[in-house]
Amino acid sequence: MSDDEADPELLALLRQHLRGKLTISEEPETGVLEGAEYVYDNAIDVALDMRSCKNAAAIIYSKMQEKKYSPATWSAHDLHPKTKDESTVAFIFTMDILNFCFWSEKSDTERFAISYRDQRWTGYWSLVAALQRALEEGIPITDSHFWQDEEECTLDVLKQVFRSCTDEEMPLLEERLACLREAGTVLYQKYNCSPVNLIQAANGSAAALVNLMARDFRCFRDEHRLPGGRRKPIRLLKRAQIFVADVWAAFEGQGYGAFRDIDKITMFADYRLPQILNSMGCIAYSPPLDVAVRQKKELPSGSSWEMQLRACSIWCVELIRKEIMRQHPDAEKMNAILIDFFLYDTIKEIEAAGQESIPHHRTRSIWY
């Protein structure tokens, strides 16, 4: 073929591209923001106040600067692992398999709590404390081989790992055991029993890792069909996304935590973020939903109210992030992950001070 002749293979590729049949560079997307925007656009019981979102963006940015929020803040917490090795990846993976549903209707003195290092831990921190305590007691709770051993990893052993210093047990213990079993099986079948191999299979993409987790692990497949909405499921993927975020933060964006597209991760749709966003005026509830939340009525997982609360919170934090970047275009590492971490820490401080203006919504599920 001479230099003047057209390359037929190149022409074929060009034709496919022009017809929309070929994408030259296709980076993975999680679809979480797309679904959140759809729910927000069609929501009737949750609304966003744009002026309050703007004000919140200014306050959040100022406070994060004041407290020097960064990925390193994650490791600074007393109970989080401090090492930068495979054992930390295993700890985080175990933690995020089990990172759901700690709320209780009992008083602070009666609710499920873990006693560890001469302190009493509740909520998410009760999980982290229990895992650290189990490792110190010689229970290989972060080992996927252990999860698969039905004679060693039993419900009774899990009750020992999560033994409470009160009369209330950790909620959903049987569901937690089932999640560990499934995760151990998938790791064995697809990733040579190693969450590090799972991370490496994503080739440095945070979105790809989230998608792998949602595809291969049922217990991470946090997607639901909006009642009366579109046929395509709404992907919220709280625990899959928080695994990526925790690894990124623990390794400060290096090594196992190096993801080229970390900013594709959204906030983690749980029951605490809607609470603080509502208290800041960013999110408003319809009168029936407001009454249900204040009366602490349980909202079924996947119901319209619950889906609107979670998805609109994702979209709200995205708008706050965009406003911060608009006002501070030079702000480094300002993403939804750090905003989420900051807001979660803040609402826990407000709770500890007894200053909550509205309770969080109640939903029992494995998703958050």
**Among all residues, which ones are annotated catalytic?**
270
Cα separation of 54 and 49, whole Å? Answer: 9
Token representation of residue 218: 């049922």
Cα separation of 101 and 289, whole Å? Answer: 21
Task: Determine the residue type at 35.
Answer: G
3-state secondary structure of 119: strand
Cα separation of 195 and 15, whole Å? Answer: 41
Cα separation of 127 and 86, whole Å? Answer: 20
Task: Determine the residue type at 338.
Answer: L
Cα separation of 192 and 144, whole Å? Answer: 10
Q: Are 276 and 343 spatial neighbours (Cβ–Cβ below 8 Å)?
A: yes
Token representation of residue 11: 């022409």
Question: Helix 304-327 to helix 32-42 angle, to the nearest 10 degrees?
Answer: 110
Cα separation of 214 and 298, whole Å? Answer: 26
3-state secondary structure of 362: strand
Cα separation of 284 and 4, whole Å? Answer: 65
Cα separation of 340 and 351, whole Å? Answer: 16
Compute the Cα dihedral for 183, 252, 103, 265 and give only its sign: negative
Cα separation of 106 and 180, whole Å? Answer: 27
Residue with tokens 């490791």, as numbered in its chain: 75
Q: Residue 289 burial (CB < 10 Å; 0-12/13-18/19+)?
A: buried
Q: Which stretch of DSSP H or E encloses residue 61?
A: helix 50-66
Token representation of residue 152: 């060693």
Q: Are 161 and 114 spatial neighbours (Cβ–Cβ below 8 Å)?
A: no
